[in-house]
Every structure is written in structure tokens, then in C-alpha cells.
Amino acid sequence: MAPEQYAVHDWLAFGINSRDPATVETCTYLCRSHLIHALGRRRLRDLTAKDVDRWLAAEAVTLSTRTLQPLHSCLNRAVK
């Protein structure tokens, strides 16, 4: 498992546990279906803003802006 997966999994397990269950479910779905799959092989220290922009642009082909916003938020919150 790559370090990014640990960061995202840790955030899902410990960072949002006080949120509404629907929020936790949404974030978990977004992370598992889009975030971990696409960026899971990248090391956090090697991940650049350009990489994230490219990833978001590629996701924008199939996802709505309304879906991209919380997806980007999940990435930011997991990294922090």
C-alpha cells in the first residue's frame, strides 16, 4: 500500500469520524472510487500541484463540477 493510501485511509478512519454519517459515506466513496485509484501510487512528497491539476482535468471529463469540488476537498483534507 502506497503512502498516499495510508494518508487517505487514516484521514477516513480518524479525520472525519465526528462528521455526519452521510458525509463520511460520501467522502469514503469519493476517495475509494476516484482518489486512491488515480493517485494511490504517488508518494505525497512527489505529488505536485500540476499533478493534481492534471488529475482534476481528467476527472472533469466524466464528473460534474459539483462532484469535483468535494473530491478536491477530500484530497486537501487528507494531505493536511
pLDDT digits (tens, 9 = 90+) for 31-72: 999 988 887 666 778 888 898 899 999 999 999 999 999 999
The better pLDDT of the pair 47, 25 is held by 25
Q: Which whole number is the average pLDDT over 18-33?
A: 91
CA distance linking residue 26 with residue 77, whole number of Å = 14
Predicted structure pTM score? 0.79
- φ and ψ of 9, to 5 deg: -65, -40
Closest CA relative to residue 29, chosen from 8, 43, 48 = 8
**Contacts (Cβ under 8 Å, ≥6 apart) of 43:** 2, 3, 4
Q: Which whole number is the average pLDDT over 6-22?
A: 85
